[in-house]
Amino acid sequence: MEQNKQFKGRCILHPGLFVGVTEFTTNLNEAEDRPYIGYGVFTDQDIPAGTILEECIAATERLSNDSNAMKTYRFPSSVLDNKGNTGFKILLGMTSICNHDESNFNVIAHESKQFIRMSVLVAYKDIKAGEELLLNYTAISGPKGDK
């Protein structure tokens, strides 16, 4: 069955995704690196590159750049409302649980140009069953041309 790769502007979730436990190293007290148990998003299916994994609502807010509110969870939003105002967004749904990896990310997220407050999570490369979905938080992009 061919994957539908067209953004529809409705909340969808790929059926192969689930939340699972993950372990990663973090420097919590600057004295030692230690394993940390958290949660992440995984797949139990092979997913080809370009597959839409989730279309989700993004909470948006006008905050000044120097505000610390939700600073580690928010991304710049080039489209905040229908008047052209910009601000920040927080991706909701399963996308909000994706962990960060700057160099080995396998999913990307971007805003919809057509649907305000909607974001889409897409497989950046082929993802094998059992792999964790990893998102480069610093590379969240603005609107893409909706098909």
State the chain's mean pLDDT as an integer: 78
Across 59-63, 78-82, 116-120, the highest mean pLDDT is recorded for 116-120
Residue 81 covered by a domain: yes
Residue 114 covered by a domain: yes
- Structure-derived torsion over alpha carbons of residues 93, 95, 99, 101, reported in degrees to the nearest 10: -170
Residue 121 covered by a domain: yes
Residue 82 covered by a domain: yes
Three-state DSSP state, 138: helix
Give the pLDDT mean for 60-86.
71
The answer, as to whether pTM is greater than 0.85, is no
28: Cβ–Cβ under 8 A, 6 or more apart, which residues?
Answer: 34, 36
**CATH classification of the domain holding 100:** 2.170.270.10
Residue 100 covered by a domain: yes
Q: Count CA within 13 A, CB hemisphere, residue 84.
A: 0
Give the pLDDT mean for 65-77.
71
Residue 62 covered by a domain: yes
Structure tokens that stand for 18 in this block: 């689930």
Judged against a pLDDT cut of 90, whether residue 127 lies above it is answered with yes
Write out the residue range of the structural domain in which residue 25 sits.
12-139
Which pLDDT does position 146 carry in this prediction? 44
| Number of structural domains in the chain | 1
Residue 6 covered by a domain: no
Which pLDDT does position 36 carry in this prediction? 74
Residue 146 covered by a domain: no
Least confident stretch, 17-21, 26-30, 46-50: 26-30
Which pLDDT does position 1 carry in this prediction? 32
